[in-house]
A and B are shown apart, each in its own frame.
Chain A
Amino acid sequence: MRVSANPKRYMLNYDYAENQHLLYWPESVRLKVAKNEHKKIMQYTMPGVKDEFMRSPIDLRFQETFNKFFGQNDFEMNQKGLVWFIKKGMLEATLNGTTDMLTWLGQGKDKAGRPSELTQVTMELWTLRFELLINLRMHAQLLAELAAFEEMDAPDLFYQYSSTEKTGSLVPFNLRLIHAESLRFSPFPWKSLIRIEQLWTTVETIVAHFRSKNAPEKHISDWEKRLDTVKCLYVRVLYELGEYKQAMSFMENIRIGMKSVEEQVIVSRAMMRMAMQAGDEKSMNIYAEKANQYNSTANEMVLHKALRSIFLGAYSHAQDYASRLQSANYSTPQSINTRAIVQLYTGNAVSSVETISQIKPLLAGPTTTNLKTLAELCYSTAAKDELLIR
């Protein structure tokens, strides 16, 4: 594979020297043991694409474009293809692109368990691939292909194992996040918390290490941002495992520790919604109050007040708030969607369909689902079909 040294914005082959602090990782016990044994270089990590999941279907209209980007082993062109398809939101096609690129790098179909060269590019490609698999909810494939990376502590996953010039980990931090969360999709979802706790501890150690070495402020702040991300991951996994109260308790600690007021408001509102979803009125009121302290008149806050009124069953109040947002020309998809829901609960199903139809383009997911549900309630079958086609 031809690898260009030209810097681009999206680079799987970024410069090592510029990002060395981001690649720092404490040496694993396995690496230390391997180094002490002074044996010849071995390969421990042998990933490969699982053939039973080889290709995802993509829109035929874009097949030609796909062939243009991924017709042959040309790193620059292939990377451009990845960017192009991600920007188009065509994640399946991007996934197929990673399959082709990994195949050319000797880690494709039937290559799992066979030696191949582990480089920064292959590791970044695997990371992107796993991110895509998570977003496409292809969890079985994610777990199958991630298994080759074991506990991310193999000696060959460290630069210093085979190089005298470079030190640090070949494992991108994103891959560590995915690896920690991945067990959530396994039959033992609670074990993901153990991995996240280990990751949390290691990142804390790294932050302390950089501080003790008087590293540049940017390096410390980069790792602090990563620490915050791990904490958020922990809370999200806790919440998704149904541990509402623990998730709220950890989230409160994160919220208090935030330096940015804007972030505090966003998290306060998220906690308010979490409380609403759980049915916890006390918590809902506490976090509504906290978010309100910063900016009570912001449209986002008015929207949250409408949500609180829905929680309390005070639909007429919710309608008042929704009207205020409409008057203020605040027409985000979230506000329009909320207004439509309020109209439904106040007995105006037809108006709610008209309202939700104002979201343009209609987004896949909740708004489309709502439109279908509402149209089914008050439109004839023919009229509903016509509306959905439009």
Chain B
Amino acid sequence: MTDIQSATGAQQLLALRVMRLARPKFAQVKGFNSDPVDPTGFSQMLNSKICESSGETRHDLPIGEYLIAPQMFENIYLGETFTFYVNVVNDSKIGVVNVNLKCELQTSTQRVPLTCSVQDAKIDAGSCEGQVISHEIKEIGQHILICAVNYTTQNGENIAEDNANQDVYLEAQIENTSNADMFMEKVELEPSQHYKVSNIMNKDEFDNCGSLLKPKDVRQFLFCLSPIDVHNTLGHKDLTSIGKLDMSWRTSMGERGRLQTSALQRIAPGYGDIRLSVEKTPSCVSAKTPFQLNCRLYNCSERALDLKLNLEQPQNNQLIFCSPSGVSLGQLPPSQHVDFNLNIFPVSVGIQSISGIRITDTLSMRNYDHDDIAQVFVS
């Protein structure tokens, strides 16, 4: 509770009282457990006397039943809502009129005016006029609450990015930097228009409780972002924005906090001019039995390409191409794709990697090598 008196030396009729309305808490109880079959009877007597004088019905339980109003201003954290009760008390023996209350919250960058309903009010002697005001804290650093009243006398993340294939995995590490236990109510990724998101979560052992984050604890959240249009990989330049991380939490007695990050950016993989995508391949094949590999070639450049497929037999000769080499794939305009199939003859058993696909642009005479594009298990 803060009592604001006049800045001038003159005796003022009104006093401004400010109390932060953090959520009320349950008062501490003098916890003790006693023998339920104590042969002396003293424990039961002492127990009932303690209950009688404290008003609590039980002292063997970890928590009491009495709410207690906030006693201190305490720290407030980014994303929480600062709520306070401001009261104008007429400490004098004469009434005052035209009472206007003005409240502002000054931060390091700005001065935020807060809406006050105490305007042109009349306060009789010994009476008071006040209101509850709330403001969401969006800045870190010191905040100064400035209250003024005039009248006439009558007389309160680290983001790491990982990517594989078309999917983007976002790992968010959320740390509780406050001094209180925190229950994460929501940690969601609001995806940008190009993605759909799935949350990869681990379930707690004791499912009756929420997601607890103790002070200084760090919890990792993993999200998988998949492009909505899987085939529109050519437009990857538009896929840099992946979305916003939105989280909300509660601390003691339901005190709420919420934070939303700005749009998170990913570094788009550089595909170069062309991108080879394996569309279909068996995961397991039998040795000395040919199988087929379906491929798709994208023109990721901004010019037309005249493509030729060359197949280079790997030196280890574990997989042998049975398709002709030097085949023309034709002209491919920008942002278009062409499909082709390869027949492969597996010779050795084990996990074998498919390499040796060479694409040549006959217009620019550039070669594009594609190795280790897929693996198959040969049994």
A, B in one complex: yes
Chain A residue with the shortest CB-CB distance to B88: A378
Cα distance, A135 to B48, chains bound together (Å): 13
* Interchain CA distance A86-B130 in the complex, whole Å: 45
B10 contacts A by Cβ under 8 Å:
no
A-side interface size class: 35 or more
B362–chain A nearest beta-carbon distance, Å: 64
Contact for A337 among B39, B54, B67, B91, CB less than 8 A: B67
Q: How far is the CA of A274 from the CA of B61 in the complex (A)?
A: 10
Q: Provided the pairs A87-B45, A137-B30, A373-B71 are in contact, do residues A337 and B253 lie with their beta carbons within 8 angstroms?
A: no
Which of the candidate stretches A10-18, A24-32, A101-109, A187-195 sits at the interface with the other chain? A10-18
Q: Determine whether B218 belongs to the interface, using a CB cutoff of 8 Å to chain A.
A: no
Other 11 A-B pairs with CB < 8 A, given A12-B40, A242-B181, A279-B254: A83-B42, A89-B49, A131-B46, A173-B37, A174-B34, A181-B32, A239-B62, A270-B61, A276-B254, A279-B182, A378-B128
B161 contacts chain A at the CB level, 8 A cutoff: no
CB distance B40 to A11 under 8 Å? Answer: yes
* Residue-wise interface mask of A (214-231) relative to B, using a CB-CB cutoff of 8 A (1 in contact, 0 not): 000000001001101110
Secondary structure at the A interface, as helix, strand, loop or mixed, is helix
The segment out of A49-57, A156-164, A346-354 that lies at the interface is A346-354
Q: Closest A-chain residue to B25, C-beta based?
A: A277
Contact A226 B60 (CB under 8 A): no
B140 within 8 A of A: no
Partner of A373, one of B19, B49, B52, B65: B19
Q: Are A377 and B183 in contact (CB under 8 A)?
A: no
**Structural contact, A378 and B89, CB atoms closer than 8 A:** yes
Q: Is A232 an interface residue (CB 8 A)?
A: yes
Closest Cβ of chain B to A307, distance in Å, is 7
Contact residues of A between 203 and 256, Cβ < 8 Å to B: 222, 225-226, 228-230, 232-233, 235-236, 239-240, 242, 244-245, 247-249, 251-252
- Top-4 shortest CB links A-B: A311-B254, A366-B27, A239-B62, A366-B66
Interface residues, chain A, with chain B CB atoms under 8 Å away? 9-12, 14, 18-19, 22, 82-83, 86-87, 89, 124, 128, 131-132, 134-135, 137, 172-174, 177, 181, 222, 225-226, 228-230, 232-233, 235-236, 239-240, 242, 244-245, 247-249, 251-252, 266-267, 270, 273-283, 286, 307, 310-313, 333-334, 337-338, 341, 344-347, 349-350, 363-367, 369-370, 373-374, 376-381, 383
Contact of A280 among B27, B55, B210 (CB under 8 A): B210
Is there a chain A Cβ closer than 8 Å to B112's Cβ? Answer: no
Q: Are A334 and B254 in contact (CB under 8 A)?
A: no
Within B43-71, which residues are at the interface with A (CB < 8 Å)? 43, 45-46, 49-50, 52-55, 58, 60-71
User: Pick the contact of B63 from A87, A89, A273, A370 — CB < 8 Å?
Assistant: A273
Residue of B nearest to A369 (CB): B68
- Measured between beta carbons, the chain A residues less than 8 angstroms from B206 are 245, 248-249, 252
In the complex, A363 Cα to B65 Cα: how many Å?
14
Q: Which of B21, B33, B43 contacts A236 (CB 8 A)?
A: B33
Q: Which residues of B contact A89 (CB under 8 A)?
A: 49, 52-53
Q: Does B337 contact A (CB under 8 A)?
A: no
* Cβ-neighbour of A311 out of B40, B55, B253 (below 8 A): B253
Distance in Å: Cβ of B307 to nearest Cβ of chain A: 57
B35 close to A (CB within 8 Å): yes
Chain B positions 203-259 with a Cβ under 8 Å from a chain A Cβ: 206, 208-210, 212, 214, 249-256
Is A378 touching B254 in the complex (CB atoms < 8 A)?
no
Could you tell me how many residues of chain B have their Cβ less than 8 Å away from some Cβ of chain A? Answer: 75
- Contact check, B55 vs A365: say whether CB atoms are below 8 A apart: yes
Residues of A within 8 A of B25 (CB): 277
Tell me the smallest distance from the CB of A33 to a CB of chain B, in Å: 29
- Which B residue's beta carbon lies closest to that of A270? B61
- B267: which A residues are within 8 A, CB to CB? none
CA distance A380 to B61 in the complex (A): 39
* 7 A/B residue pairs, CB under 8 Å, sorted by A: A22-B37, A279-B251, A333-B66, A349-B87, A369-B68, A376-B17, A383-B126
Q: Which of A12, A83, A247, A367 is close to B66, meaning CB atoms less than 8 Å apart?
A: A367
User: Is the Cβ of B31 less than 8 Å from the Cβ of A240?
Assistant: yes
Q: B181-197: contact bitstring with A at CB < 8 Å (1 yes, 0 no)?
A: 11101000000000000
Determine whether the beta carbon of A344 is less than 8 Å from that of B85: yes
Distance between Cα atoms of A210 and B66 in the complex (Å): 41
Nearest residue (CB) in A for B211 is A282
Contact yes or no, A366 B62, CB < 8 A:
no
Cβ of B131 and Cβ of A347 under 8 Å apart?
Answer: yes
